[in-house]
Chain A
Amino acid sequence: MGTPTDILTPERSWLEALAQGRFLLQRSASSGQFVFPPRVAEPRSGATDLQWVEASGAGVVHAVTVISPKPPAAPYTVALIDLAEGVRVMGRVEGLPPDQVAIGLPVQARVGQIEGVPALLFHPREAAHA
Chain B
Amino acid sequence: MRDAFPRAATAIVSTATYGIGEAPGQTSMELAVRASVSALARVGLKPADVDGLFVCLPTDFFSGLGLAEYLGIHPRLTNNNRVGGSAFQTYVLWAALALAAGQCDVALITYGSNQRTASGKLVRSLLPSPFEAPYQALVPASAYALAASRHMHEFGTTRAQLAQVAVAARQWAQLNPEAFVRETLSVEQCLSARMLSSPLSVRDSCLVTDGAAALVMTRGDRARDLCLHPVYVLGAAEATHHRMISAAPDLTTTAAVESGARAYAQAGITAADVDVVQLYDAFTINTLLFLEDLGFCPKGEGGRFVEGGRIAPGGALPVNTNGGGLSCVHPGMYGLFALVEAARQLAGEAGERQIAGAEIALAHGNGGELSSQATVVLGSASTV
Contacts and interface: CB of A to CB of B under 8 A. Distances in A.
Contacts of B196: 67
Contacts of B150: 62-63, 103
Given A66-B197, A103-B149, A89 B131 contact: yes
Contact of A63 (B134, B146, B244): B146
A55 interface: no
Interface in A29-45: 36-37
Contacts of B153: 63, 103-104
Contacts of A62: 150, 251
B126 to A, nearest CB: 14
Contacts of B200: 65
Contact of A66 (B132, B135, B198): B198
A90 B137 contact: yes
A76 B246 contact: no
Contact of A80 (B129, B199, B246): B246
B130 interface: yes
Contact of B135 (A11, A15, A36, A90): A90
A3 to B, nearest CB: 21
Interface in B102-151: 129-138, 142, 145-147, 149-150
Contacts of A11: 130
Contacts of B195: 66, 68
B245 interface: yes
Contacts of A65: 137, 142, 145-146, 149, 197-200
A65 B205 CA distance: 15
A25 to B, nearest CB: 12
A64 B146 contact: yes
Nearest to A102: B153
Contacts of A76: 136
Interface string A68-105: 10000000101110000000111110000001000110
Contacts of A36: 131
For the complex of A and B, list the 8 residue pairs with the smallest distance between their C-beta atoms, beginning with the closest.
A65-B145, A119-B134, A63-B146, A90-B246, A66-B198, A78-B137, A63-B150, A103-B153
17 contacts: A63-B147, A63-B153, A65-B146, A66-B195, A67-B137, A67-B142, A68-B198, A78-B136, A78-B146, A80-B246, A88-B247, A89-B131, A90-B132, A90-B246, A92-B135, A117-B133, A117-B134
Interface of B: 129-138, 142, 145-147, 149-150, 153, 195-200, 244-247, 251
Given A37-B129, A65-B199, A114-B134, 7 more contacts: A37-B131, A67-B196, A76-B136, A78-B142, A90-B244, A90-B245, A117-B133
